[in-house]
Structure 1
Amino acid sequence: MSQTAIVTGGGSGIGLGITKALLSKGYKVSVWDLSCILSHENLLYCKVDVTKTQTITQALEKTLSAFGKISVLVNSAGIAIACPVITLNSVHSLEDFERVLHVNIIGMFDVCRQVARHMVDGVIINISSINAYEGTRVISAYSASKGAVNGLTLPMARDLAQYGIRVVGICPGLIETPMGMLIKEVNRNIYIKETLSKRMGTTEELAHAVMFVIENKYMNGVNFRIDSGGINPHI
């Protein structure tokens, strides 16, 4: 019998790569995103804004009705707003800072708490970032949000272990996605030089890591990097 996976942010970028990998392995996939261009007989699209609890609840009900028990949850929905803490003439918008945290950590936690009630012997995979460890300039909000994602992994894993649910965080380096390509070319090239493979990662490589976590039942309560040994430079 096919297993069911939910992928937030599964309509584009990293999430889309993960969605494709899950479909290729025979999973039924419920994509929770603001939009989704992918079509497949085993794909259910639910329009979700993770900052709005009701849209999560409605998508969960729709997914359970269509596919039944949920085995995998991948949280890849996320945003970044580039802005320095201060400039000569302004300060970082508190509204923007709150928006990033609401999507990247509060919304993610809301998804986890609602979906976990309908999982048994499953796995939750939260897509974090190496910026949780080495935040670069102008992304204080993003780095803080990903640090919070990492900090949630172990306590959530301990809370959910009694139900057979694992929790793992994956911290990618620079991945070739629409979001990754928004970074200035000169800054991308500086980071690429810091990697051992001298290139950006691909969504397929990250999706492979997700599949590995799903299949390895002994992985739990840990955050791990997939970044080709890259260290975020001071740029």
Structure 2
Amino acid sequence: MDLANTAALVTGGASGLGAATAAALAARGASVYALDLAPAIEKAADVEGVTYVETDVTDGASVRNAVAAAVSSGLPLRTVVSCAGIGPSARILSKRGPHDLDLFAKVVQVNLVGSFNVMTVATEAIAQTDADADGQRGVIVNTASIAAYDGQVGQAAYAASKGGIVGLTLPAARDLAQYGIRVCTIAPGIVDTPMLATVSDEFRAGLAAGVPFPQRLARPSEFADLVTMIVDHDYLNGEVIRMDGALRMAPR
């Protein structure tokens, strides 16, 4: 599918995976709407072709406003990439007591329900666009994690939310096939994002040493490259792709 002269949405688009993806889509000729919370947008770099829209992915009205902004560009909305997410750590039971239920619900609400919310609202708009010569109207790319398969100690909420994204992929692709909309998911391993910026070089080196090959942390640009590959590859649908250097996470 051709990205030139189309509109795209990227959640979590002000930093990390989302920022790299927004820049990559803009470089390919898309008019990108980067959705994020206000504090993140305030720190975001100005990128040609990228418009920042303050959005809470868990709020229906907020997402509808963001989608409307993309539609108002007059360009067909073709690409939606959900990168917004949180990953607090807590054990189901620890010396401090049981896992906080509100925390578990918040992680699922942001990571899983937020992705579903964005996909649902955006695909309604995509379905109203004219299809291309092959009947295509759009592509949804959601973000899971290898924690969906190899959740570590303290990752019950995060792994459950990302496992939900994995489980959503095929039924979503089947639901949306009649509208010419493909759905794929990327499950990244350890990516060198701002979330890791606060840890020591020694700790980062230890993380990299656990990756079979290449023995380093993944780069956000590599995630963005995979997104554009999925967009380009018209026969990729209903698939979850691990991007992890063959890493299989240990229990802790």
TM-score by length of 2: 0.88
One-letter code of the match for 2:117?
D
Offset at residue 59 of structure 1 (A): 1.1
Does residue 210 of structure 1 match 2:197? no
Q: Which 10-residue stretch deviates more, 82-91 or 138-147?
A: 82-91
Q: Distance in 2 between matches of 1:43 and 1:154?
A: 30
- Report whether the alignment pairs 1:24 with 2:27: yes
Tell whether 2:88 aligns with 1:72.
no
1:85 aligns with 2:92: yes
CA distance in 2, matches of 1:223, 1:150: 7
Contact 1:174 1:180 in 2 (8 A): no
Q: Deviations over 1:3-32 (max 9, x none)?
A: 111000011111011011111111100011
Residue 101 of structure 1 deviates from its aligned partner by 0.3
Give the unaligned 5+ runs of structure 2.
128-136
Q: Alpha-carbon deviation of 1:187?
A: 6.0
- Tell me the CA shift for residue 67 of structure 1: 4.3
Q: How does 1:71-220 map to 2 (within 5 A)?
A: 71-120=78-127, 121-181=137-197, 188-195=204-211, 196-220=213-237
Maintained 8 Å contact 1:31/1:45: yes
Alignment CA distance shift 1:123-1:141 (3 Å): same
Partner of residue 65 from structure 2, selected from 40, 46, 58: 58
Q: Which amino acid aligns with 2:60?
A: T
Percent identical pairs in the alignment equals 34
Question: Secondary structure in 1 aligned to 2:69?
Answer: helix
Q: Which amino acid aligns with 1:172?
A: P
Moved more, 167-176 or 120-129: 120-129
| Structure 2 counterpart SS, 1:63 | helix
Give the alignment's Cα RMSD to 1 decimal.
1.7
CA displacement 1:143-170 (0-9 Å, x = unmatched) = 0000000000000000000110000000
Superposition deviation, residue 42 in structure 1:
2.1
Going from structure 1 to structure 2, the CA distance change for 1:83 and 1:103 (only over 3 Å counts) comes to same
Q: 1:184 to 1:100 in 2, by over 3 A?
A: farther
Residue identity in the other structure for 1:86:
L
For 2:199 and 2:76, how far apart are their aligned partners in 1? 39
- Structure 1 unmatched ranges of 5 or more: none
> Which amino acid is the alignment partner of residue 138 of structure 1?
G
- Report the TM-score, using the length of structure 1 for normalisation: 0.94
Shift of residue 91, structure 1, vs aligned partner: 1.5
Q: C-alpha distance in 2, partners of 1:144/1:4?
A: 31
CA contact (8 A) 2:8 2:70 kept: no
Is residue 38 of structure 1 aligned with residue 79 of structure 2? no
CA contact 1:14–1:206 (8 Å) conserved in 2: yes
What is the alpha-carbon distance in structure 2 between the residues aligned to residue 210 and residue 55 of structure 1?
24
1:54, CA displacement in angstroms?
1.1
| Inter-partner Cα distance in structure 1 for 2:17 and 2:175 | 27
Q: Distance in 1 between matches of 2:240 and 2:185?
A: 4
Q: Which amino acid aligns with 1:151?
A: G
C-alpha distance in 2 between matches for 1:166 and 1:62: 22
Q: Tell me the matched-pair count.
A: 235
